Structure 1
Amino acid sequence: MKIVIWSDFVCPFCYIGKRNLELALLNLNAQVSVEMKSFELDPFYRRDKIEHINEIVANKYGISLEQAAQSQKQIEEMAHRVGLEYHADTMIQGNTLTAHRLLQMAKKHQKGTVLFDAFTKAIFVDGYDIQDVHILNQLWLKTGLSQGLYDEALKESWTERCVQEDEYEAHMKSIRGVPYFEIDGVVVQGAQPVEVFEDVLNKTLQNYDAEAYQCKDGVCMIG
């Protein structure tokens, strides 16, 4: 079974939605591959100064700071319900193109989801700056990827081209927001509850011919 996820690192619902999917997969006895695809929520974002997330949300949606703070509190509660930390007060908004270029290189070396998890934790838990290439470099190395691959990812133009290709594909699919999941072609949009993912996953598995299963050591793989 193949799952494709369009997401952005600074999107809290991508952070939570991916966890909900992972929880749904825990009880699924099937071989699953997950591919992360790039989607920049604000590709033209330029930062003159570091602003609190409440200010950013209030300005973006035309709401009060109190309303923005309440929305962040609700996101924090959503995250906590699925075992995630979310610290709005330390978050730093930034342009994510460099991070997405690194994702493209990590995918080529089967580390895409690992890198996504490392970067989102850095943003939502540790308060790191996603624009700081020195921090990105440190996080990259902690995933087990080499310094040479990091340097190559930022030097070679193909990594940016792959980001653009992911976003063009999203445009052709009329994807305007993330997270956006395709589970063997079945679309799930947004940080849906675990139960929604479980329902889609189970229905998807039912569509496979039982004879296609190969079971070993408690895991059934789809042939």
Structure 2
Amino acid sequence: MLDVMMWADIRCPWCWIGLRRLQVAAKEIPGGLRVRHRSFLLEPAGPASPGRLVADIAVSEWGMTAEQWRAKSAAIRAQGRQEGLDIRIDTTAVVDSRPAHRLLHAAADNGVDPTTAWEAAFDAHLRRNVDLADPAALLDLADQIGLPRPAVRSLLAGEDYADAVVADHQAAVSRGIHGVPTIVAGDHTLTGSRSVAELGDFLMTAGSGQ
């Protein structure tokens, strides 16, 4: 079985698309694939404009024109549909993803399948447009993936797993990773939106030890 690490942020639509494509590519890998999900923070200190829609921030803070954003949004939605995903990026709000990442770490430590948990978080944020910085929304997500509410309330009341999230992010930066999705297998690194074929070639090369 081939072990890989995947850095992602639940705010990133390309990360959800990349995870789906990685799962398809993995079917061609002899022995299968074991994915270690690692947290990456697009805004490590939290968003500058929490709660505002991505579509609004794109044209007011990211320097994009309305036409440029429409094209980018259309590409994201089209690529998502190819993988069976309904990504509603125009109505997605920018949120602080650190609490959600802490919950994902807790889920992994409590026996929840990590890919299942990440899929649920992506779906909540990017399809249902849930505010995953809201403790009530995180409790609902915990119910969905099978984490007991008392444990999650305790988690959200403190700082459990905050260091783990930061450590994941810093590990990425120390490897020269500054964008996601990024997949690492041994000495091989692949960053950005990639096709299933590109991911398959990457995994086969990494698995062959070349």
Given that 1:2 and 1:183 are in contact with CA atoms closer than 8 Å, whether structure 2 keeps it comes out as: yes
Where does residue 201 of structure 1 map in the other structure? 203
CA positional deviation for 1:133:
1.2
Going from structure 1 to structure 2, the CA distance change for 1:20 and 1:61 (only over 3 Å counts) comes to same
Given that 1:105 and 1:149 are in contact with CA atoms closer than 8 Å, whether structure 2 keeps it comes out as: no
CA positional deviation for 1:167:
1.4
Identity of aligned residues (%): 25
Where does residue 168 of structure 2 map in the other structure? 166
CA positional deviation for 1:120:
0.5
Higher radius of gyration, 1 or 2: 1
CA distance in 1, matches of 2:102, 2:176: 22
- Runs of 4+ residues over 6 Å off in structure 1: none
- Unaligned ranges ≥5, structure 1: 209-223
Report the TM-score when normalising by structure 2: 0.90
CA distance in 2, matches of 1:113, 1:28: 18
Task: Give the aligned residue type for 1:207.
Answer: G
Given that 1:95 and 1:131 are in contact with CA atoms closer than 8 Å, whether structure 2 keeps it comes out as: yes
Where does residue 10 of structure 1 map in the other structure? 11
Report the TM-score when normalising by structure 1: 0.85
Where does residue 68 of structure 1 map in the other structure? 69
CA positional deviation for 1:156:
4.6
Aligned length: 208
- Unaligned ranges ≥5, structure 2: none
SS of 1:40 mapped into structure 2: coil
Root mean square deviation of aligned Cα: 2.0
CA distance in 2, matches of 1:130, 1:167: 19
Given that 1:8 and 1:40 are in contact with CA atoms closer than 8 Å, whether structure 2 keeps it comes out as: yes
Where does residue 186 of structure 1 map in the other structure? 188
Where does residue 125 of structure 1 map in the other structure? 127
CA distance in 2, matches of 1:131, 1:146: 18
Where does residue 106 of structure 1 map in the other structure? 107
CA positional deviation for 1:66:
2.4
Q: CA offsets, 1:146-167, max 9 Å, x none?
A: 2233134324534101111111
Where does residue 138 of structure 1 map in the other structure? 140
